[in-house]
Chain A
Amino acid sequence: MTVSTLPDLPALAEFERVFLPNIEEDKTETLEEYLKVGGYEAVKIALAKKPEEITEIIKDSGLRGRGGAGFPTGMKWSFLPKGAHPRYLTINADESEPGTCKDRPLMEQRPHTLIEGIICSCIAIESEKAFIYIRGEYYKSAKVMQDAVDEAYAAGILGDNVMGSGKRVDVVVHRGAGAYICGEETALLTSLEGYRGYPKLKPPFPAIKGLYDKPTIINNVETIVSVGWILKKGADWFKKFTHERSTGQRLLCVSGHVKKPGVYELPMTLTLREIIYDVCGGMRNDHDLKFIIPGGSSVPWVLPEHLDATWSMEGLAAVGSSLGSAGMMVMDHTVCPVWALANLSAFYRHESCGQCTPCREGSAWLQKIVMRIERGEGEEGDLETLRAIAGTGPNTGMICGKSICALGDAAAWPVSSALNCFWDDFEEHIKTKGCKYKNKRYWMQDDRFVNETYEHKPSWGHH
């Protein structure tokens, strides 16, 4: 996969793509090629500055984390306790939030931009060691990253004398082995220490007590890649396209029923309508849009009436959702919202690590109830029970705010949001003991999987 090209929109006339321009599909940029286009210039810039100066530039750029929570990166860095060493940088390449597939092309095609960002970040936070935690399913990403790290060591870019500066930066590529929860920062650290990936209660935050109990900064792949570009091109360049406090470019992953699904590098200034109808070519087969999950599977759903919302952190918050990890799933009118929710509930139930009761039991009950409604076996009172478990917002219901990590909340949010958006559909399933979406095609393109008499098979989630 490669980052898809953008149409000629007036709104994008001045916009400069930097993450993956002009790289052929399935091709990895070598060190030699990268050096020819200004590769590792950012390291030279970073080496000429004091650590605090780099952090100030990142703060000034407005860069916020690309992993999901959107926390300001420069501010996170400044939480490190002064004088405490060693300290570690950990790159979150666990990318497992359904709908999200952006870190993979970054690592597989331009691995050196990540290493460059890592070195700059290590200089800024005064760390000599970085770990890249890559999800187990990303075999190719891990191999490409390891090869690139080896290349960088051989060229004296990594190691005990980074580009002749006398500074040391070591990078270790570490693979996970299949567990969504290891994307949660504290779980990632316990996993990296060789244990089950159990999250830990915060505080203490990793910046104070993290990997091997040492101060640790955890950032997403795209966040760290952005750091390199900001140093190279300046904070003002990064802020050129801005919507409220959403600055800089982001990789948007669009999947589902649009004509051109793909990964797009965009500023956070377009509307959802422009993204779906201009950037992605519109809905497949010109179907009607039913709903959008705009930021990975955990975030609240967005209805067509909100198509004029800006695709930015503030724009999506204004319509009750979130930009999350920028994994946008688009559903057309053939998708039954109860069926879609059943799929997501099965995901969260499967991925709950089981440490805390509200999340472990709550996610299981949500799945059971949604699935029985979907099968036409829903009972009166089921929707009220779902509401009681999932709640209606932060710290309501039986899970939100009552578990160790945010996976509990993530299991509840889609349920409360689906009920808000499609209460009538849920009620109808229970009343008619069936689904009116049955016998509708899920996919309508000739060479795709098409089944006119599609039976909703809840074939997932049986354990």
Chain B
Amino acid sequence: MRESNAVGYLDDKHEEIEALCAKYPSRRSALLPVLWMVQNKLGWVPQDAMKEVGDIIGVTAAEVYEVVSFYTMFQQKPTGKYHLGVCHTLACAICGAFEAIDYIKEKAGINHGRISDDGRFSIEELECIGACAEAPAMLVGETLHGNLTPASIDKILASCK
């Protein structure tokens, strides 16, 4: 689990952010990409980062929060080192998604809540992730895994060091 302590998360990114803003006719369009930068660095978007992002883009922290809270992928709480997003929508559901979720939770040691006891894994049930023809499917961090079976899940989890 990663913790936030001080602001200045984006101190090393100012040049990159200005180049990004220049791509759009309006500076505000860079809001989502900049929030992604925060999340890539910390694994989530803490409140003090919303203030920092707002200052950079030129909007209030409240406006940033309004946006963060709309998009389900922006995490407002710390996640495990590996975040598992398992699809539970119809095409996956009829191919065993709920059984897969139970199996993953058991194997990853997620006994209560959404983070494993050792902080290595967190889990989230997602709506259709565009891998329906390979159902059931999940995202491990940024990587998509389809056609999940108990054996493939064992292998995937073991590779998450």
Knowing A100-B132, A212-B26, A263-B133, say if A179 contacts B70 (CB, 8 Å): yes
Contact A256 B94 (CB under 8 A): yes
Which of A97, A196, A331 meets B70, CB within 8 Å? A196
CA A138 – CA B66 in complex, angstroms?
23
User: For residue A138, which residue of chain B has the nearest CB?
Assistant: B130
Contact A95 B32 (CB under 8 A): no
List residues of B (1-39) whose CB comes within 8 Å of A's CBs: 23-26, 28-33, 35-36
Q: What B residues does A351 contact at CB under 8 A?
A: 127
Q: What A residues does B89 contact at CB under 8 A?
A: 98, 297, 343, 347
CB distance from B77 to the nearest CB of A (A): 15
Interface size class of B (residues with CB under 8 A): 35 or more
CB distance from A305 to the nearest CB of B (A): 21
Q: What A residues does B148 contact at CB under 8 A?
A: 449
CA A101 – CA B84 in complex, angstroms?
20
User: For residue A179, which residue of chain B has the nearest CB?
Assistant: B71
CA A62 – CA B55 in complex, angstroms?
49
Contact B90 A451 (CB under 8 A): no
CB distance from A446 to the nearest CB of B (A): 9
Contact B32 A177 (CB under 8 A): yes
Fill in one digit per residue for B43-75: 1 if any A CB lies within 8 Å of its CB, else 0: 000000000000001000000001100111110
User: For residue A454, which residue of chain B has the nearest CB?
Assistant: B99
List residues of B (65-114) whose CB comes within 8 Å of A's CBs: 66-67, 70-74, 85, 88-91, 93-96, 98-101, 103
CB distance from B56 to the nearest CB of A (A): 12
Which of B71, B91, B93 meets A178, CB within 8 Å? B71
Contact B29 A449 (CB under 8 A): no
User: For residue B59, which residue of chain A has the nearest CB?
Assistant: A194
Q: Does A308 count as interface, using CB distance less than 8 angstroms?
A: no
Contact B149 A95 (CB under 8 A): no
**Interface size of A by Cβ–Cβ distance < 8 Å?**
65
Q: What A residues does B24 contact at CB under 8 A?
A: 172
Contact B132 A327 (CB under 8 A): yes
Q: What B residues does A449 contact at CB under 8 A?
A: 95-96, 99-100, 103, 136, 148-150
Which of B70, B127, B133, B139 meets A347, CB within 8 Å? B127
CA A71 – CA B35 in complex, angstroms?
34
Fill in one digit per residue for B115-153: 1 if any A CB lies within 8 Å of its CB, else 0: 000000000011111111111100100111010111100
Main secondary structure of the interface of A (DSSP, over half): loop
Contact B96 A442 (CB under 8 A): yes
CB distance from A14 to the nearest CB of B (A): 26
Which of A104, A340, A459, A460 meets B130, CB within 8 Å? A104
Q: Does A262 count as interface, using CB distance less than 8 angstroms?
A: yes
User: For residue B89, which residue of chain A has the nearest CB?
Assistant: A98
CB distance from A441 to the nearest CB of B (A): 10
Q: What A residues does B72 contact at CB under 8 A?
A: 177-179
Contact A137 B90 (CB under 8 A): no
Knowing A99-B91, A99-B132, A442-B96, say if A193 contacts B73 (CB, 8 Å): no
Which of B94, B99, B134 meets A331, CB within 8 Å? B94
Contact A194 B103 (CB under 8 A): no
Contact B94 A340 (CB under 8 A): yes
Contact B85 A137 (CB under 8 A): yes
CB distance from A286 to the nearest CB of B (A): 17
CA A261 – CA B103 in complex, angstroms?
23
Contact B33 A175 (CB under 8 A): yes
Contact B32 A194 (CB under 8 A): yes
CA A344 – CA B26 in complex, angstroms?
37
User: For residue B141, which residue of chain A has the nearest CB?
Assistant: A139
Contact B139 A329 (CB under 8 A): no
Which of B35, B70, B136, B151 meets A447, CB within 8 Å? B151
| 14 A-B pairs whose Cβ atoms sit less than 8 Å apart in the complex | A99-B128, A139-B139, A139-B143, A177-B36, A178-B72, A179-B71, A197-B71, A212-B26, A335-B94, A442-B96, A448-B96, A449-B103, A451-B99, A459-B88
Nearest 8 A/B pairs, CB to CB: A449-B96, A178-B73, A449-B99, A177-B71, A194-B28, A194-B31, A255-B132, A139-B142
Interface residues of B (CB under 8 A from A): 23-26, 28-33, 35-36, 57, 66-67, 70-74, 85, 88-91, 93-96, 98-101, 103, 125-136, 139, 142-144, 146, 148-151
**With contacts A98-B89, A98-B132, A335-B94 known, what are 6 further pairs, Cβ within 8 A?**
A98-B128, A101-B130, A101-B133, A329-B91, A353-B70, A443-B96
